[in-house]
Structure 1
């Protein structure tokens, strides 16, 4: 069973004092192979990419280098890099200045997420209470969206310095193997992002401190028209109290295992693989496959799986037997 946890799920920073090589070294990723993309991003003409980590460069001198780590990038940083957020934040803060002209490094976006696997957050209740406006917040905008990827509630604007999103991660990821997975994510930009990094100390305490400062679900009262005096909803209080019991900061690393590979090969690629085998025959198909991958470095996630299970090992055979029995 998964345990509730708090993670970093997006991180973007810029530097005018580091080269691309310096950034790679700072992240502890000198031993992995970055791929040079055909086109740049974020206004930069050049970009190197690895596992959700993009390092952009080649722009004007005052742009420096930009490093963007998506959720997948944060997991790659934790698995293949040093995963040392504290040291990274310390370096950014040391070279940050309130005066933009004197600023050498900047943290432009930071997402901190709480993953609930035990049912503290009911996305249906949250969406209903949001629609009824039974919450107190400094932010005026809100959205409730239902789609094929489940329900998502947004408080605030995605373009502002703080945006809170609560959504059905289980549905988004199509994780039928989990009973419950709801994510409550705080997206911080600009001064709020650097401000969170400067807090230091306990990330769990900082997360709940920021969340409680910007959002509180309440129980309506017929006797008082001032929502700020309404009692906090019991289920929201229980969620906030989870800091002391189940919530921990985690570096979960890359979320990839044999079941992910199984879904990809026998799910998304099954039709293409069968068609090629029908056209070429099994023997020629495998000869062509060996030629295609010969001398090419495997993606680190595939290397990890081979290290865990071996090649043509008893572990693989056991997995295939179990799959065939389903």
Structure 2
């Protein structure tokens, strides 16, 4: 079954959900599996195409259902511990089977059943094919943050920041990551062209947010209630970090205005009407 990577075919910059984990309580695995399949428009996602496995697809679970007997869409549960709930996990590959409307329909269906649910992890990607990302300014700000604790306002410890350098198809790239697996918000900038080993492209960067706990829950709830992915993405990004104007750092970075180049980048992404909805 062929997977078409969102955005690549049209080479248009886009936002997308790239990883999702939902835990649902007071529901059987079979009921949630049917709910998932009934909520999506892709007819390949049918109950018959999920294989039962006598091992958990996620840590702490002992049983699972896996789409096409693969790991990119799976439901995990523990028959002896129904209090664990049932978890749906979609990796980046799995998310490509769902449209934005499908994600909304799934959450609405869970709400309609009046089942308690939590979004334990959510990755949101911005794919850039048109060189919108201000890479050099970001690299310099990250260097300043590492060396002098300037240029970036965030509550994440700078020791968690990592750079990765490499080359693919004779083109050098530089990736960075801010945050840890325990952070409620994490930011990754990387060369997607190199990661996917796509020879036909000379540029494709991704700025990805990994959200957990209250950030992931707030994002999905607001998305389902009608906020756009672009507005929520900008709001979530600003709740994790901001690139600030160093000239004002005497007042404390939290009170510094954004760097001019960062504001221009946010305008390129789209206006944000929900700047204060995420906890910093």
Q: TM-score range by the shorter chain?
A: 0.7 to 0.9
Structure 2 stretches of 5 or more lacking a match?
1-9, 38-44, 146-150, 168-172, 272-280
Contact kept? 1:8, 1:74, Cα under 8 Å: yes
Determine the structure 1 residue equivalent to 2:106: 88
Determine the structure 1 residue equivalent to 2:26: 17
Tell me the distance in 2 between the aligned counterparts of 1:94 and 1:191: 21
Structure 1 stretches of 5 or more lacking a match?
97-102, 246-326
Shift of residue 214, structure 1, vs aligned partner: 2.6
Determine the structure 2 residue equivalent to 1:243: 269
Choose 143-152 or 168-177, whichever is displaced more: 143-152
Cα deviation code 1:70-90 (max 9, x no counterpart)? 111111234xxx951112223
Determine the structure 2 residue equivalent to 1:171: 194
* Cα distance change on mapping 1:32 and 1:118 into 2, 3 Å: farther
* Cα distance change on mapping 1:111 and 1:33 into 2, 3 Å: same
* Cα distance change on mapping 1:83 and 1:48 into 2, 3 Å: farther
- The 5 A counterparts of 1:272-283 are none
More helix by share: 1
Shift of residue 152, structure 1, vs aligned partner: 2.6
Q: TM-score, normalised by structure 2?
A: 0.73
Cα deviation code 1:173-205 (max 9, x no counterpart)? 122222321111111112221111222322211
Contact kept? 2:186, 2:240, Cα under 8 Å: no
Q: TM-score, normalised by structure 1?
A: 0.64
Determine the structure 1 residue equivalent to 2:237: 211
State yes or no: 1:7 paired with 2:25.
Answer: no
Tell me the distance in 2 between the aligned counterparts of 1:157 and 1:223: 26
State yes or no: 1:143 paired with 2:152.
Answer: no
Tell me the distance in 2 between the aligned counterparts of 1:94 and 1:166: 37
Choose 123-132 or 68-77, whichever is displaced more: 123-132
Determine the structure 2 residue equivalent to 1:58: 78
User: 2:88 pairs with 56, 63, 67, which one?
Assistant: 67
More strand by share: 2
* Cα distance change on mapping 1:36 and 1:152 into 2, 3 Å: farther
Shift of residue 58, structure 1, vs aligned partner: 2.9
State yes or no: 1:34 paired with 2:34.
Answer: no
Contact kept? 1:130, 1:144, Cα under 8 Å: no
Residue-pair matches, total: 236
Cα deviation code 1:269-314 (max 9, x no counterpart)? xxxxxxxxxxxxxxxxxxxxxxxxxxxxxxxxxxxxxxxxxxxxxx
User: What secondary structure does 1:221 align onto?
Assistant: helix
* Cα distance change on mapping 1:91 and 1:108 into 2, 3 Å: farther
Determine the structure 2 residue equivalent to 1:129: 141
